[in-house]
Amino acid sequence: MKIAISGLTGCGNSTATNNVASALGLPVVNYTMHNMAAESGMDFEEFHAMAQKSDAVDIELDSKIIELAQKADEQSGGCVVGTRLAGWLLQDADLRVWLHASLEVRARRVASREGLPYAEVLQRVSARDDADISRYKRIYGVDINDHEGFDLIVNTEYLTAEQAASLIVAAEKLAKQNRLKKPIKLARHIRDVIEGKKRELGVKD
């Protein structure tokens, strides 16, 4: 069972991914730009700004996610992938989930987590949303506000992390029973773009 969980900053994506994986006994694939920034020894905001100027960052990141998901699926018979584009990257996902919360709620969560002023974080999260939406549209032609092809949309504003995970676990059981697996329109296109860009940018596997 391959489960893809996507959502914007502050939606609870990482927590939901870990909780669902734990409940189902599946490995987690949650390689993000934060991981890449840490591995590069760079501040995240600085690294994120760099990503706006070079497609190579997204191409390397998304290629890595696809690779890790395939490896986890082969070794464990499934996985839970939690990244912004997970629902579009996994061509053969059995269940696609989008986590939703308003900008204000997401900013409050991030501000609380990082111990920063709400107004500052609100501006930062809004700018990051806009940058990500624009970048994915430019590179892949993906509108991450269009959730056609997703099986479940969860509003996490009034749910605990445990409650959100419980909904996804329940949906996983239905997906098994009803065989919801279906390709999403842009999944194959995204993989073709990644391979083409890797050749163009000289990004090695």
pTM: 0.86
Eight-class DSSP state of 10: T
- Amino acid at site 78: G
For every one of its 205 residues, what pLDDT tens digit does the chain have, with 9 covering 90 and above? 999 999 999 999 999 999 999 999 999 998 888 888 898 888 888 888 887 788 888 898 899 999 999 999 999 999 999 999 999 999 889 999 999 999 999 999 999 999 999 999 999 999 999 999 999 999 999 999 999 889 999 999 999 889 999 999 999 988 877 655 555 666 767 778 788 877 776 666 5
Q: Which CATH number fits domain 2-201: 2.60.40.10, 3.40.50.740, 3.10.580.10, 3.40.50.300?
A: 3.40.50.300
HEC assignment per residue over 126-188: HHHHHHHHHHHHHHHCCCCCCCCCCCEEEECCCCCHHHHHHHHHHHHHHHHHHCCCCCCCCHH
